[in-house]
Every structure is written in structure tokens, then in C-alpha cells.
């Protein structure tokens, strides 16, 4: 049972990363525009989510907010870019949740 949870969380984390870069129509442009700090921030969000047993919209939002507070202190990060990324991450929750459930069903049926 614990192994299934770990695999599920890892799958969710991989899905999260892939969705940010390839899951939207604007993904190609996002890949061009993305800078190093954005990748680091998204990576920290994924790492913190992997450590949680139960991920829901509320906990996901809290994790995004906590990580964004850390990145506010970095001088090369503009407030508008950070706010835009935070809004994007929070807006993507429903698609990630829907994608994660679909992925989990497919994996269980094999």
C-alpha cells in the first residue's frame, strides 16, 4: 500500500512538471519564456508536494504560497512575474487533479 502511494505521488509530480511545459496551447511559448528561477520554484513546489500524504486544492495553494514567499526575497525576480507564476500555478490545479485521476485509473487497469 505504501509503495502505491509513493508511485502515485511520483506520478503526480511528473504530471505536474509535464503539464506546466507541455499541457497547454501556450506551452511552446512558456518553454521559451521560462527562466531559471521559475524552474527552481516549480521544482520546490513539486518537492514539497511529494512529502505530503494527501494533496488537495487547499494544501496545494498553501505550498505555492509558501514557496512564493521565499522567491519574493530574490532580487532578480520581479513582483509581476512572481504574481503571474503563482496565479498560473493555482489556476492549473483543476487540470492537474483531473489529469492525475485519469492517469491513476489507466495505471490501475493494466
Choice among 34-38, 81-85, 86-90, 102-106 with the minimum mean pLDDT: 102-106
Tell me, what's the pLDDT at 2? Answer: 66
Q: What residue spans define the domains of the chain?
A: 2-109
Burial of 48 (0-12, 13-18, 19+ CB in 10 A): middle
Range 79-102 average pLDDT: 79
Tell me, what's the pLDDT at 68? Answer: 92
d(CA 55, CA 44): 15
Range 13-20 average pLDDT: 72
Tell me, what's the pLDDT at 104? Answer: 43
Tell me, what's the pLDDT at 53? Answer: 83
Question: 47, 17, 45, 10: which is closest to 31 by C-alpha?
Answer: 17
pTM of the model: 0.58
Tell me, what's the pLDDT at 65? Answer: 93
Amino acid at each position: 500500500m505504501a509503495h502505491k502511494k509513493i508511485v502515485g505521488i511520483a506520478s503526480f509530480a511528473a504530471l505536474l512538471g509535464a503539464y506546466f511545459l507541455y499541457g497547454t496551447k501556450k506551452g511552446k511559448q512558456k518553454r521559451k519564456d521560462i527562466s531559471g528561477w521559475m524552474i527552481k520554484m516549480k521544482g520546490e513546489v513539486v518537492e514539497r508536494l511529494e512529502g505530503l500524504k494527501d494533496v488537495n486544492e487547499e494544501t496545494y495553494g498553501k505550498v505555492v504560497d509558501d514557496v512564493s514567499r521565499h522567491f519574493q526575497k530574490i532580487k532578480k525576480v520581479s513582483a509581476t512575474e512572481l504574481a503571474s507564476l503563482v496565479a498560473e500555478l493555482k489556476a492549473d490545479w483543476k487540470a492537474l487533479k483531473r489529469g492525475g485521476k485519469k492517469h491513476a485509473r489507466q495505471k490501475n487497469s493494466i
